[in-house]
Amino acid sequence: MTEILPPGPPREPGSAADPGRLPSPVTGSTGSAAAEGPDGEIALRLRAGDPEALRLAYDRHARVVHTVALRVLQSHHDAEDVTQQVFVRAWRGRGSFDPERGGLAPWLLGITRRQIADRLALRERERAAAEGAARAGPPPPVGPRPEQVLDVVVVADELDRLPETQRRVVRLAFYDDLTQQQISSVTGLPLGTVKSHLRRGVDRMRRRWEAGGAAPGA
């Protein structure tokens, strides 16, 4: 059980293991998301209790966790607390992670959603208590809906992770509303290449959206 990690230089978040620079998962229409790409391996190592896997999971997913928390809670302090708690709980609860039920990212985001919900509930209790004491508190805070924020963030994250040309084609289609023929003209890429880039890129983003919002957590 005891295993010594190979010595190595300390890693800073977002440097050596920047998510965008890691190999992308192989796109395939079958198989569980958990089994694909680096996340599949990280998940297995995490389950096996490899501390480095927690760091790798953090490098790949802390950005999404933090961004979702920040946009919903609209507080840097709370967003950092949530991010910390998500990875602390991911480590302590790694025994409950079931790769058959979904990928690493949906599992982490399930923990994130519960942490955010707890934080919102706490705020509401504090508000209610303050209102009860003062008999006139501020109105309940209205923030963006967590589910909606989460969907937007995971899709944006997947877009960031697309290979360069795929990302460019998807952006031209989504943001500039160009047809595939127009994209071909603008980029000089053959129409068939544009079609396959667009189809693959959109497919990845869609699958990430479908897996990210709905999967059960720990």
Partner 1 sequence: MRHPGPDELVDAALSTRDPDPGTEAHLRGCPTCRAEVEALRGTAQLAREGADRPLQDPPPTVWERVVDELGPDLDTGPAAAPAGPGTVTTLPSRRRGPLLLAAAALVVGLAGGVGIGLTLGPGDPEVPDAPGAVPLVALDPGSGATGSTGLAEIGGRRILTVALEHSAVPAGGYLEAWLMDEGATRLYALGGLTAGGPDRWTGRFVLPADLPLDVLDTVDVSVEHFDGNPGHSGESLARGRAT
Site of interaction with partner 1 (CB under 8 A): 1-5, 7-14, 47-52, 54-55, 58, 62-67, 70, 79-80, 83-84, 87-88, 91-95, 151-153, 155-157, 159-160, 170, 173-175, 177, 179-180, 195, 198-199, 202, 205-206, 209-210
Closer Cβ to partner 1, 140 or 190, answer by number? 190
Residue 28 backbone phi and psi in degrees, to 5: -150, 155
DSSP class per residue in 125-146? HHHHHHHHHHS--PPPP----H
Q: How far apart are CA 43 and CA 134, in angstroms?
A: 49
Closer Cβ to partner 1, 137 or 218, answer by number? 218
Among candidate residues 7, 16, 20, the one with its CA nearest the CA of residue 163: 20
- Binning the chain into helix, strand and coil, the percentages to the nearest 5 are 70, 0, 30
CB of 114 to partner 1, least distance (A): 17
CB 44 within 8 A of CB 99: yes
H or E element that contains 108:
helix 104-134
Closer Cβ to partner 1, 34 or 153, answer by number? 153
Closer Cβ to partner 1, 7 or 132, answer by number? 7
CB 89 within 8 A of CB 25: no
CB of 162 to partner 1, least distance (A): 11
CB of 126 to partner 1, least distance (A): 23
CB of 122 to partner 1, least distance (A): 19
Closer Cβ to partner 1, 124 or 176, answer by number? 176
Q: What is the CA radius of gyration of the chain?
A: 20
CB of 37 to partner 1, least distance (A): 19
Closer Cβ to partner 1, 88 or 130, answer by number? 88
CB of 193 to partner 1, least distance (A): 12
DSSP class per residue in 136-176? --PPPP----HHHHHHHHHHHHHHHHS-HHHHHHHHHHHTS
